[in-house]
A and B are shown apart, each in its own frame.
Chain A
Amino acid sequence: MTLDYNQQHLIKMANQIAGNMPTRENVPAQIVQHMAQFWTPPMRADLKKIAENKAESLSDEVLAALALQD
C-alpha cells in the first residue's frame, strides 16, 4: 500500500496524539475520546484502513485505540 500525503499526515497525527496523552494510563481510551471529539468520521475510517494495511506505521497504542472502536 502506497501512502498518499493525507494518509501520511493521519499516521503522524495519530502517533503524536498517542505520544502526548497527558496520563499514561489507558492511553487507547484517551485516543478514542480525542478522535471522537476532533476527527471527522472519514478521517477515523481512513486511519482504520491504514491500520489494516500498514499497521507497522502506527504505534501500539493507536492500534489498540482502533480496536476499541470496533
Chain B
Amino acid sequence: MNKPIEIAIEDIDLGTPAALSDSTVTVHIDGQAVEVPAGTSVMRAASLAGTQIPKLCATDSLDAFGSCRLCLVEIEGRKGTPASCTTPCQEGMSVKTQTPRLDKLRKGVMELYISDHPLDCLTCSANGDCELQDMAGVVGLRSVRYEEGSNHLEAGKDNSNPYFSFDASKCIVCSRCVRACSEVQGTFALTIAARGFESKVSPSEENAFLDSECVSCGACVQACPTATLQEKQVIDLGVPTRKVKTTCAYCGVGCSFVAELRGDELVRMVPDKQGGANAGHSCVKGRFAWGYATHSDRITRPLVRETTDSEWREVDWPEAIAFAADRFKAIQQQHGVDALGGITSSRCTNEEVYVVQKMVRAALRTNNVDTCARVCHSPTGYGLKQTFGTSAGTQDFASVQQADVIMVIGANPTDAHPVFGSRMKRRLREGAKLIVIDPRSIDLVQSPHIKATEHLQLQPGTNVAVVNALAHVIATEGWIDEAFVQERCDVASFNAWRRFITLAENSPENLAEISGVPAEMIRPAAATYAKAGNGAIYYGLGVTEHSQGSTMVMAMANLAMATGNIGRNGVGVNPLRGQNNVQGACDMGSFPHEFSGYRHVSDETVREQFTALWGVDLREEPGMRIPNMLDAAVSGQFRGMYIQGEDIAQSDPNSQHVADALSAMDCVVVQDLFLNETSKFAHVFLPGTSFLEKDGTFTNAERRINRVRPVVPPASGLAEWEVTCALSKAMGYSMDYANASEIMDEIAALTPTFAGVSFDLLDELGSIQWPCNEQAPEGTPIMHAQRFVRGEGQFITTPYVPTDERSTRKFPLLLTTGRILSQYNVGAQTRRTNNTVWHAEDILEIHEADAELRGVSDGDWIEVASRAGSTRMRAHISDDIPAGVVYTTFHHPVSGTNVITTDNSDWATNCPEYKVTAVEIRPSSAIAVGV
C-alpha cells in the first residue's frame, strides 16, 4: 500500500462569506491596502490582508450576524466601534483593528462570556479545538472580576443523538448552530428559545435532538465554536492529530471530506470547505455513518468452499486466487469463454472498476461485463447519448444557484442526495420556482420556507405521458426557443418532433386520464418552465427505473432543447446518480457494449487502440448485460461470475430469479466487505476495502473526479485492484501497475474525455470535471456550451407506451420504492452504524383510504404480495402518497423488498422497473386465519 498522502490543509476562517460582486473597492486595514469585491465585510477584508480580527459568532459559511461584539473595529471618520462582520467595505475606508480602546472592549466582552462558562479547559473535550479558548487567549484575558452569580453552569446535557452531544452549560448562545441549520442545511430545526438570560438553543421547540426535526447533518456541530455541540467520538477519543483529504463513498454527490485521525484511528469526518461538490456541508451518512468500516462483521481474510452448502474455509490470498482461477478455467474449457462474466461496482474507485472490466475483456476474453448502473442509470446513458451525444449530466452542482425554475422529476434530493438538496433549498428560499413531478409528496413539495409552485402527482409509470403533455403545451403555445433550435439542434429531427408532440394525442387533456394529472395543472407548469429564464431539470431513479426509462430521459432532453435550457449556468438536464461512483463506473467501460469513454466495442479504430496497449485481441460483439447473464445461468449456459461490491441477491429485482441464477453457477466470486446476501451463493469470497482504505478516484453526478486517499491501511492487506490483477494473472493475463496512479494514467491514455487527468493534476486542482483534455485542460463544469458533444442536438420522438405492469383486481395497488435519508441502498453499510436509530426496518407507506379498506392500522404487520412473490413488513399510514399507490424502501434484507419487484425492465437498457409493481396488501392477522 502507498503511504497515506497527508495534505497541508488551508483552513483559515475568513469570518463572512465571499461577496459575489464583479466590482472592487480598496480599503486600508491597519495601513495595509487590500482590494476586495464590493460588499465584502471589513472582517473578511482584514482576514484576506492577513489580519485575523477576533470573533465568535462569525464564520465564513454563515451570513454575518453581529451578536458577539468581539470583532469591533475603529473606522476613520466614523463614530463608535462597529462590528467588522456586518460592516461592508467602502472605497478608501481606513480601518484599525488593534487599538487600546478595542483591546479593552474585547477583553470586557470576553470576560462576560467566561463569567458564565465552565473553567475546565484542561479537561474539556474541546481543549485545543475551541474558539472561545482561542479568543480568550487572543484578547489576553487573564482573570474574571465578576463574583459568582446566576449562571448556566448546571445546564444539562442532551446525549440523545447517537453521534453528537449537546452540553448546554458550555453554550454561549452565538446562534451559529441555529444559523447553520437554517442557512446551510435548510431544515430550521433549531431556534433560540426565550429571551435575555433565559435564551437557549432549542431543537424543535424544546425536544431532545433525537426527537426533533434535526436531520443530523452535523452542520451545527461543525459551526459550534465551543464544546457545546461536539462529536461523541471526539469526546471519547480526544482531539485529532492528523488529517487526510478524501471523498465520501455514499451517494452521487461525492462530498469532499477531511478525515481527522489519531494515529490510524478515525476520530471524525469534517466536510471540506474547498470541496467542489459540497462546499463544506455534509449529511448524516457522510459525516457520521462510517463505523461500518471497522464493524466486527468485516471479513478480512479470503474464504473458499467447494459447494455453497459447505462451510467457508479461511485461506491465504494465493490459495484463494488459485481456487477462483482454477474454477474459471475449468468453466472456460467445458462451456467456452462466454460462460463467464463480471459485474463492476459503483461503490468502487474508477481504477478498481477499470481493472475489473479489463480483466473480463482481456483475461476472461469476453465482453460479458456489466455494472450496477444497469439497475439505476443505464437509461441515462442511452437517452443522453442519443440526444446530446454523451452520457453525462450537463451542469455542475453550483449551477442550481442560478436556476429560476427547478423541475424535480422522480427524485427526492433531501433524502437521497441531501447535500445537493440543501443547495437546491437555498436557491428555492431565494425565490426560484419549483415544479415537482412525483407520485409522492416528497419533502421539497412543502418544507420550511419552501413550497412547490406545482406538484404533478402522477400515477406511477406515466412519466412520459406527463412530459409529453408539458412539451405539447410549450409547442402549441409558441413557447419554443426557435433561435436556439435553429442554431444548435438538428432541425429535421426537431421538425419531426414538433409534428409528433403537437398531435392531439399528446395534449394534457388527452393524457390526463392516463397520468392522473389534470390538464389545468399541466398547462401552468409548462408555462412556468418555458418562461423560466433559466429552467433546470433534476431527475433520479423515478425517471430511469421504468419500462420507458430511456424514452423519458430523451423526453426531458427534448424539453430542455426546445426551450433553450442547455449550455449555460442555471439550466440543463441533470441525473442525480444513486451511488458515489455511478458516473465513473459507466465512464470506465463497464457496459458490455462499450469501452471507456462510451465507445462501442464494434468501433475498429477504438478497439485497435485498446488492443495495442493491452496486447490482446478484443471481441467486437457486445457481451451480456446482468439480466442476460442471469437468464443464461438459469438456462445452464452461463456458469461463473466475478461480482465486485454489489449485492445482487438483495438489490436486483425478482430475488427468486436471481437466487435461481446464482445457484445454477459453478463458481461465484464475491469481492465485498461483508458476507452479504449474494455471498450465500458464492464459492470464493475476496475481502474488499472500505473507502477509508482505497487509493483512487470517484466521479460524482456532476462529472467531478475527486481523489479518494487512503486514510488507513487495507484491513485485508491488499488493495482491491491488486486482488483483481492477481486473478487476472492467474488466468493468464498480467496487469502490472505499481500504484493506482498508473491505472489512471492508462485510463487517460485510452479515454479522450480523461486525456488530461492525472493524480498530480487532481492534487493541484482539488477536483476535475470531465472532459479534461487539450481543449479543456482544467475540466468542463458546463457541457454543450457552444455545441453538443454529438454536434447538433437530436430531437427524438417519445410516444407513450404503457407498462405491462398494471393494477388488476388481484393486485390493485401500485408499489413504488425509494430511499430514506439515514439509510443507503441495501443497507450493507448504514445498517452497521447507529443510523438504525432512525430506520430500523423497511416500512410500507399506505394511504388512509387503502388501509381502511383492508383493515390495516398504523404499525400493523402486513403481507405485500405481487405476481413475483410476497414479503412482510409493517404499515405506516401516510398522506404523502395518493390512494392506489404504496411505497417502501429496500434497505433491509429481512423485508426483502425485491422479492416482490418484477423482471419488467426498460425497453432499451433492461434497467429494472422498480418503480411500478402491482401488489395487494393484507394484514398479517388475515394471513394467520387464512382470510
Contacts and interface: CB of A to CB of B under 8 A. Distances in A.
Interface of A: 4-6, 9-10, 13, 16-17, 19-20, 22-24, 34, 36-43
Contacts of B765: none
Contact of B903 (A9, A10, A22, A36): A9
B631 A22 contact: no
Contacts of B496: 23
A6 B801 CA distance: 24
Interface string B897-910: 00000010101111
Contact of A17 (B548, B554, B621, B908): B908
Given A6-B634, A10-B631, A40-B624, 10 more contacts: A4-B634, A5-B634, A5-B657, A13-B907, A19-B801, A20-B551, A22-B554, A24-B799, A38-B593, A39-B622
| Size class of the B contact interface (CB-based, 8 Å) | 35 or more
Contacts of B657: 5
B622 A40 contact: yes
B907 A9 contact: no
B32 interface: no
Interface in B323-359: 338
Contact of A41 (B547, B621, B796, B905): B621
Given A6-B631, A6-B632, A40-B624, A20 B908 contact: yes
Interface of B: 338, 367, 496, 547-548, 551, 554, 592-593, 600, 602, 621-625, 627-628, 631-632, 634-635, 637, 657, 796-799, 801, 903, 905, 907-910
A13 B338 CA distance: 21
Contact of B631 (A9, A16, A19): A9
A17 B907 contact: yes
| 3 smallest beta-carbon distances between A and B, as pairs | A20-B907, A6-B635, A6-B631
10 contacts: A9-B627, A10-B631, A16-B907, A20-B799, A23-B797, A38-B622, A38-B908, A38-B909, A40-B624, A42-B637
Contacts of A9: 627, 631, 903
Contacts of B548: 20
Contacts of A5: 631, 634-635, 657
Q: Which secondary structure characterizes the binding site on chain B?
A: loop
Contact of B797 (A6, A22, A40): A22
Contact of B798 (A22, A36, A38, A43): A22
Nearest to A18: B907
B593 A37 contact: yes
Most buried by B among A23, A24, A34: A23
Contacts of A16: 547, 907
Contacts of A13: 905, 907, 910
B627 A19 contact: no
Given A5-B631, A6-B634, A19-B801, A40 B907 contact: no
A5 B629 CA distance: 12
A68 to B, nearest CB: 18
B628 A40 contact: yes
Contacts of B600: 37
A41 B627 CA distance: 16
Contact of B338 (A19, A20, A24, A40): A40
Contacts of B798: 22
- Most chain-B Cβ atoms within 10 A of its Cβ — which of A36, A40, A43? A40
Contacts of B367: 40
A22 B635 contact: no
B152 to A, nearest CB: 66
A12 to B, nearest CB: 8
Nearest to A8: B631
Which of B551, B622, B798 has the most CB atoms of chain A within a 10 A radius of its CB? B622
A22 B799 contact: yes
Contacts of B551: 20, 22
Most buried by A among B551, B554, B799: B799
A39 B593 CA distance: 9
A23 B657 CA distance: 34
A44 B801 CA distance: 24
Given A6-B635, A39-B622, A22 B796 contact: yes
A24 B908 CA distance: 16
Contacts of B547: 16
A16 B911 CA distance: 13
Contacts of B796: 22
B87 to A, nearest CB: 60
Nearest to A34: B908
A19 B634 contact: no
A17 B909 CA distance: 10
B448 to A, nearest CB: 42
Contacts of B634: 4-6
A20 to B, nearest CB: 4
B628 A43 contact: yes
Nearest to A5: B634
Nearest to A39: B622
A32 B550 CA distance: 18
A55 to B, nearest CB: 21
